[in-house]
Amino acid sequence: MAGYLSDSCAHCRGAVEPGKPIVVCPSCGAVLHEGCWRGHGGCSSCGWRESPEPTKRCPYCRELIHGEAVICKHCRSSLQAAPGSGQGQEGLVAAALRAGWRGFTSRAGLHVGIFLFGVAMVLLAALLAYGLFGSYRYYPLRRGVGYFLRMAPGSALLFGLGVYLALQWLLVGLVKIHSALAAGQPATFGQLFSGGDRLLPFVGASLFTGLLADLAWDLWPGVGIAVMIFLVFVPYLVVAHGLGPLRAMNVSVQLVLNNFGSVLGFVVVGAVLIAVGVFLAGLGTIVTGPIVGIGTAHLCRNLLARWDG
């Protein structure tokens, strides 16, 4: 059911909730609550009246498949050991870390290329900001107070906005790559530039989560850290599972509440890995960054599968 969390019932327009049975119309693909389907006698969207065959979403590629399928006909993934089945709290963390390591080692060249591309983009942005707009100028504010800037304030604002949107666009592509590798699917360097379809929801989610974390940090750093932990899955829910910003925040909180031990354990291990990568002159993040990112995507998919029961 994880693939339908962003859908609403075609009959009552109510949200699809975890654990609440649904029926997918085999004729038009509309999603209805089971009660709405039975009450209407079929699909209220296209008029289908026969009993549909059981269907489900592949937990790896999210395509619609037969309810009793053991191999996905789209991505060829085995469904006999679906994500989250038979794993305890410790097993979830270990499985996420293994998935992260497997995703890195299987495409090490890809991750190195992404790292080098990121470094090149940062240097390019710095050079543009430094040299494109001429020498420093003094911009007065009031009562003799002012500031020095290499570009006009309006140009600086537009330049900063452009850099921010470009960064968000690339981050969407990076989340897509990590999510694909977590699901055992192919990933290419070109996916890094495929973030246009989820850019606006991702930017909205980034602004919401950033604002909440900042306000919580101002109250007390411990509260800020807690907020960041509870919202850790938001980027993956927005990009890989198609949820809107607010819905993704709500689902992320529920996932963490239901599996707090697993999530906290993974966050601690992930923070240690990133710290080690930074300590090694930053070059260690070539390895630890993808491991943590892919592991987070894998853990998110696992917890969604467990939540659906």
Q: How confident is the model at residue 147 (pLDDT cuts 50, 70, 90)?
A: low
Distance CA 132, CA 286 (A): 30
Rounded mean pLDDT of 117-138?
Answer: 75
pLDDT over 50 (residue 27): yes
8 Å CB contact between 307 and 255:
yes
pLDDT in tens, 213-229: 999 999 999 999 999 99
pLDDT over 50 (residue 86): no
Q: Which pLDDT score is estimated for 309?
A: 42
More confident call, 241 vs 76: 241
Strand partners, 66: 55
The domain ranges of the chain are 89-308
Q: Which pLDDT score is estimated for 25?
A: 82
For the chain, give the mean pLDDT.
82
Q: Which pLDDT score is estimated for 222?
A: 93
Q: Which pLDDT score is estimated for 34?
A: 84
Distance CA 185, CA 294 (A): 12
Q: Which pLDDT score is estimated for 92?
A: 84
Q: Which pLDDT score is estimated for 256?
A: 95
Q: Which pLDDT score is estimated for 85?
A: 46
Q: Which pLDDT score is estimated for 13?
A: 83
Tokens 């925040």, located at residue = 249
pLDDT in tens, 99-108: 999 999 999 9
Predicted TM-score (pTM) of this structure: 0.71
More confident call, 143 vs 249: 249
HSE-up (13 A, CA, CB side) for residue 171: 17
Q: Which pLDDT score is estimated for 16?
A: 79
> Residues with Cβ < 8 Å from 224, sequence gap 6 or more?
213, 214, 216, 217, 218
CA 285 to chain centre: 19
Token pair of 174, please? 């990076």
Q: What are the percentages of helix, strand and coil residues in the chain, rounded to 5?
A: 60, 10, 30
Q: How confident is the model at residue 193 (pLDDT cuts 50, 70, 90)?
A: very high
Rounded mean pLDDT of 287-297?
Answer: 96
DSSP string covering 33-56, please? EHHHHHHHTS-TTT---SPPPPEE
Distance CA 223, CA 288 (A): 26
> Residues with Cβ < 8 Å from 233, sequence gap 6 or more?
248, 251, 252, 255, 256, 296, 299, 300, 303
